Amino acid sequence: MSKLYERTALELAALIRSKEVSSREVVQAHLDRISAVNGHVNAVTVVLAESALKAADAADAREAAGPLHGVPFTIKENIDCVGSATTNGVPALADAHPTMDAPVVARMKAAGAIPIGRTNLPEMGLRLSTDNPLRGRTLNPWHTELTAGGSSGGEAAALATGMTPFGLGNDIGGSLRNPAYCCGITSLKPTQGRIPHAGSMEPLDAGIAVQAMLVEGPMTRSVADLRMGLSILAGRDIRDPRSVDAPLIGAQPHRRRAALVTYINGANIPEATLAAIRQAGTILAAAGWEVEEAEPPELEQVSQIWGNVLSIDFADLVPQIQPMITAPLHTILSQLVSRFDPNVSNGTVHAERSRLTRLWSAFFADYPVAIGPTWTRLPWPASADLDPVTGLDLLLDTIRFITPGNVLGLPSVALPMGLADGLPTGIQIYADLWREDLALDAAQAIEAGVARTTPIDPVT
């Protein structure tokens, strides 16, 4: 038998259900793995060993009920989990203890899963690199000088090194997908409203950018775990007025047709990424899909509107959070507000969002899935995004194919595609609104043709 920390969440659940192993054994194996490797990557910020072992013993004392009975999971430090602080990666919130679990945490617990740790993020979740003055920097386990991605970088590094089989993160500008690409794991950014987002500490209600673009989502090492996670996390919660109940499976398209996105105006997509996209197309074609290169509508305008939506909120938010964040981050956020005019008509911005969403839905009527880059850059040095001269341009160039997921609300799977020059490479698979099932179907077919590279021992 492979080591327990190498197993997927579903594999661990099956082992516990069959009583081949106990929940205590599984939890202890992951606690031991944290002790062994976290010092090399700084991904897990708080270890919940005592409560996790107590929960594991309770799980072993009763019959398995939920789909993740006795399986450990970790939680990003901007998601409420009672008994630990929701720090958002800033010293001012080091003791900010929630009074209720976030809906996603409550649903994981109801499914039988056991929290074993909290994971790192950048300050207020507002960078593509995971570093903050409270917890320090999370190192990319493949190359310590490169970014681990952000903002769910702690989750991705913990998964990549076997410290957890399942993680909870969130995404307003690629924060589930960015670190998945950098660390070589998989994640699902769901349709806006599919999975509820809510906290128990003020402010309970955020601005339009959060309402329109922020989602919670699962991070794992397998597509099957993503699918299972979606089934647990999805559905209406009254704490999130935008959340809905919607079918997880839709009608199969008349033609299984995939668009390969190998050209993005203004981007120099790395050769390794282009090779991964084409490899994915070859695998799908062998599985009976029609595959064509195609260009989704108005990508540059999509990114422009993403910036406008953020800027409208950030014009007020950045001065409010300035006392809590470092000066370099404040500089970049201020530059973003200046770059995307916050005084543009809010009505005009959201009318444009609607128009672009219609165009993309029409595109998906022809191509049920679109496969392209996660990042249009290779992972870069960990502090490059804070350079006061080049940092903002680097960010905007990197996420050219990330922004449609947020501003248009689309579901997307970030999928690893092996290694290139010793680093993970990967793709992103988009589908139309509420069609996570199609993105996951394509991802699962592609995953079957690619060797899994994680968990790994981190580079030291």
Residues carrying an active site annotation: 76, 151, 175
| DSSP 3-state of 257 | strand
Strand order in the sheet with 412-420: 44-47, 114-119, 72-76, 167-171, 215-220, 186-189, 412-420, 423-431, 369-373, 257-260, 290-293
Q: How far is CA 27 from CA 1, 5, 23, in A?
A: 17, 9, 6
Q: How far apart are CA 422 and CA 335, in angstroms?
A: 34
For 184, the token pair is 């070589």
Q: How far is CA 117 from the centre of its chain?
A: 17
Cα-atom radius of gyration of the chain, to the nearest Å?
Answer: 20
DSSP 211-241: HHH-EEEEEESSHHHHHHHHHHH-S-BTTBT
Residue the block writes with tokens 């205590």: 24
Helix/strand/coil (H/E/C) assignment for every residue in 190-215: CCCCCCCCCCCCCCCCCCHHHHHHCE
How many other CB atoms are found less than 10 A from the CB of residue 249? Answer: 11
Q: How far apart are CA 50 and CA 405, in angstroms?
A: 38
Whether cis (ω within 30° of 0) applies to the bond prior to 455 is: yes
| DSSP 3-state of 456 | coil
Q: How far apart are CA 283 and CA 436, in angstroms?
A: 20
DSSP 30-63: HHHHHHHHHHHH--EEEE-HHHHHHHHHHHHTS-
